[in-house]
Amino acid sequence: MTVFEVDPHVPFIRIVRDFVATPEQLFRAHTDPAVFVRWIGPNDITTRIDHWDCRSGGSWAFTNLRGEESYSFHGCFHEVSPTRLVQTFTYDGFPDGVSLETLTLTALGDGRTRLTGHSLVDSFEGRDQWLASGMETGINDGYAKLDALLLNHQL
């Protein structure tokens, strides 16, 4: 189960989810574009990588496709390490809404890992727009697909 928390004093979203996976598997799922496209986003979309330079100082861009609709996103990788990713995240349809994302992978033992994501935006209105955008559905659908990849030993 994915837990979403908002801070009443800071325009911040926390996402916490435990996986039956190693930190190395989750790191690969978030950094290998061939794996990333297999699980990211809602069930009714496909993802195309437009640019992927996954290293500290690199950048990325991808597009979600749903029928005739497309939704593009881009950002920069600020830190890429085996247990922590720091990046910006921007939806091209709302270019002023840049989020600073920090993803931490913590080994819990017994082949389990806790993923903790922090998303900081510049305003409460921006945070609320992210939440209203269907973000929770996309994350929950995506993590269910990731669970299936892990369960079927495809990662």
Is the separation of the CB atoms in 35 and 29 below 8 Å? yes
Judged against a pLDDT cut of 90, whether residue 15 lies above it is answered with yes
Q: Residue 110 in 3-state DSSP?
A: coil
The strands making up 3-6's β-sheet, listed across from edge to edge, are 3-6, 12-19, 112-120, 99-109, 84-91, 69-81, 59-66, 46-52
* Distance from C-alpha of 56 to C-alpha of 76, rounded to nearest angstrom: 9
Provide mean pLDDT across the span 73-90. Answer: 97
136: its two tokens: 């929770």
Is the separation of the CB atoms in 73 and 88 below 8 Å? no
* Distance from C-alpha of 38 to C-alpha of 149, rounded to nearest angstrom: 9
Residue 109 zone, left/alpha/beta (φ > 0; ψ -120 to 50; rest): left
Residue 46: phi, psi to the nearest 5? -120, 160
Of residues 95 and 111, more confidently modeled = 111
Judged against a pLDDT cut of 90, whether residue 137 lies above it is answered with no
Residue 67: phi, psi to the nearest 5? 60, -125
Residue 36: phi, psi to the nearest 5? -50, -45
Q: What pLDDT sits at residue 17?
A: 97
Judged against a pLDDT cut of 90, whether residue 109 lies above it is answered with yes
10: its two tokens: 């800071």
Q: What pLDDT sits at residue 13?
A: 93
What CATH number should be reported for the domain holding residue 39? Answer: 3.30.530.20
Q: Is the pTM of this model over 0.75?
A: yes
What is the residue range of 25's domain?
3-151
Q: Residue 105 in 3-state DSSP?
A: strand
Number of domains observed in the structure of the chain: 1
